Amino acid sequence: MWRSKKKKGYIGLTNGYIPNEDERKWHNYCVNNGIIISPVPTTQGVYPEEWRIGISFSNNYKKIHETPTVYITDNIWPETFKLMKFYYDKNNE
């Protein structure tokens, strides 16, 4: 059976980022309101190293809008939560 060897030092999206209380609130708001925001790999494969942030809505979840900016492990999660905050703020003014 063929198995892909894990790249040495590969950490992927599991960089140990822990969201704070506000970020969890923004995440819960998006989940409860059908706003789907998540990292999307820029390339196919087992061990992607770069991502864009994908945004879709539950009423048309197959249409994914991706950010033009490419992120790496060090900054993907803070930027993902910034987008969640944008939607939270936009709908709670």
Q: What pLDDT does residue 2 have?
A: 53
- Distance, in Å, from the CA atom of 83 to the CA atom of 88, rounded to the nearest integer, reads 9
Domain residue limits, the chain? 27-91
Q: What is the dihedral of CA 40, 67, 31, 62, to 10 degrees?
A: -70
What's at 21, amino acid-wise? Answer: E
Of 7 and 90, more confident: 90
Average pLDDT, the chain: 88
Q: What pLDDT does residue 13 have?
A: 76
Structure tokens at 90: 């936009």
What pTM does this model have? Answer: 0.84
Structure tokens at 6: 């894990």
Angle, CA 82 vertex, CA 21 and CA 7 arms, to 5°: 95
pLDDT in tens, 26-49: 999 999 999 999 999 998 878 888
